Amino acid sequence: MKSINGKKIAAYLNEELKDKLKSFRIKENITPTLVVVLVGENPASNIYVKNKKIKADEVGINSVVKKLDSGVTEKQLLEIIDNYNKDNNVDGILVQLPLPSHINTEKIIDAISYEKDVDGFNSKNIGLLAQGRPYVVPCTPLGCLKLLKTEIELMGASALVIGRSNIVGRPMSYLLTNHHATVTLAHSKTQNLKQLCKRNDIIIAASGIPKMIKKDWVKDKAIIIDVGINQIVDEDNKKVLVGDVDYSNVFSKVKAITPVPGGVGPMTIHCLLENTLKLSMLRRNL
Ligand code: NAD
C-alpha cells in the first residue's frame, strides 16, 4: 500500500520542464505562449484558470488569460479563436469549460486549430489519439498515464476506466490501449461495476461520484488512479474535496493509489504546460 504523490511528481516534472524551456529560450529565442479563454464567472473555472496561470509563469511559459463576459456570442467567440489561430506568437489555446449554454462547446473546441489545441480535445486530435498516432494528448489522461508508469508495466495489464467523458474517460481508454493495456470502459449504464473492478489490475476512476469505490470492490494489490474531484460536507460540517474512491477504506488493500487532492490534479496542470512547449516545437518543426 502506497500513496502516489502526484503533487511531488508534478513539482519534479515542472522543474525539468523549466530547464527545457530555458534551453529553448536560449537556443531558439522563443518563449511559448498559452492563451486561456475564460467565459463568464464560474467560481471553479476562475480557480482552475488562476492555478494554470501561476504554474505557467513559474516554469517560464508566457500565459494570457482572455476574460470574456458570459453574454459573448458564439460568433464573437469563434472570431476570437480564429484570431489566435492566425497569431504566430500563440502556441496553445485553451477554452475553459464549461461554456454558457447558448454556446455550442463542440463547435468552439473544433474551431481551435489542431496545432494549437493544447487540451487535445478537438475531433482531429481525439481521432489521431484513437488511431494510435497522437499529435497532442489530453492533459488529465496524460497525467494519469505518467503516474501509472511509475507503478506498473502497462503492457498486458488489465485496466478499467470508469467514465466515458470526452475529456477524461474516452481519451484515457485510447491512451491505455495505445500502451498495450487490455482496457474495459465503464459508464453509467454498465452492469456489475463492482465485479469489473475486482477483475482489473488498474482502475482509473472518473465518474464524479464521491467515494463510490470501496475495499470489497478492488482486487488485492490493484493500482488506483482517482480522477474525481468532488466537494462534500464531512462529519464536522466542513466542505472537503474527495475522490471517486473511498481512499482510507481501500488503502490497506491496494498496491498504490492517488490521493484527492494532491494526486491527478497537479499532473493535469503539468501536462498542460508540457503540451504548450510540445506544440510550440512541433509547429516550428523543431
Ligand atoms: P462527466 O460528468 O463528464 O463524466 C462522468 C462519467 O462517469 C460519464 O461518462 C458517466 O457515464 C460516468 N458515470 C456516472 N455515474 C456512473 C456510475 N454510477 N458508474 C459508472 N460510471 C458512471 O465528468 P468528467 O468531466 O469526466 O470528470 C469526472 C470526474 O473527474 C469529476 O469528478 C471531475 O471533477 C474530475 N476531473 C478531475 C480532473 C483533474 O485534473 N483531477 C480533470 C477533469 C475532471
Residues recognised as catalytic: 52, 96, 119
* Segment 217-261, tens digit of pLDDT: 999 999 999 999 999 999 999 999 999 999 999 999 999 999 999
Q: Do residue 91 and residue 147 come from a single domain?
A: no
156 and 69 assigned to the same domain: no
Give the pLDDT of residue 226.
98
* Residue 272 in grid coordinates: 498542460
CATH code of the domain containing 104: 3.40.50.10860
What is residue 245's DSSP assignment?
B
- Nearest residue to 61 via CA among 82, 28, 92: 92
Domain that holds residue 192: 139-264
Domain membership flag for residue 215? yes
208 lines ligand 1 (CB under 6 A): yes
Nearest CA, atom 40, ligand 1: 265
Q: What's the pLDDT tens digit per position in 57-96? A: 999 999 999 999 999 999 999 999 999 999 999 999 999 9
Distance of CA 29 from the midpoint of ligand 1 (Å): 40
**Total number of domains constituting the chain:** 2
Same domain, 110 and 177: no
Residue 185 bridge partners (DSSP):
161
> Residue 277 is which amino acid?
L
Cα 71 to ligand 1 centre (Å): 27
Give domain status of residue 144, yes or no.
yes
Whether 130 is in a domain gets the answer no
| Predicted pLDDT of residue 231 | 94
Residue 207 Cα to ligand 1 middle (Å): 3
The answer to whether position 224 is within a domain reads yes
Distance of CA 4 to the CA centre of its chain: 17
In a domain, 277, yes or no: no
Residue 172 pLDDT:
99
For ligand 1, whether the C-beta of 264 sits within 6 Å is yes
pLDDT score, position 117: 98
Q: Record the cell numbers describing residue 29, joined without a space.
A: 529565442
Q: pLDDT, tens digit, for every residue of 34-45?
A: 999 999 999 999
Q: How confident is the model at residue 156 (pLDDT cuts 50, 70, 90)?
A: very high
pLDDT of 199 reads 97
Q: Domain check: are 103 and 145 in the same one?
A: no
Ligand 1 atom nearest the C-alpha of 164 is: 9
171 and 249 co-located in one domain: yes
CB count within 10 Å of CB 248 equals 9
Q: What's residue 250's pLDDT?
A: 98
The pTM assigned to this predicted structure is 0.97
Does 285 fall in a domain?
A: no
Where are any strands of DSSP class E within 155-219? 158-162, 182-186, 202-205
Q: 45 CB less than 6 Å from ligand 1?
A: no
Mean of pLDDT values over 126-155: 98
Domain CATH for 198: 3.40.50.720
As a dihedral over the C-alpha atoms of residue 28, residue 133, residue 108, residue 79, rounded to 10 degrees, the angle is: 40
CA angle, corner 79, sides to 75 and 81, nearest 5?
A: 115
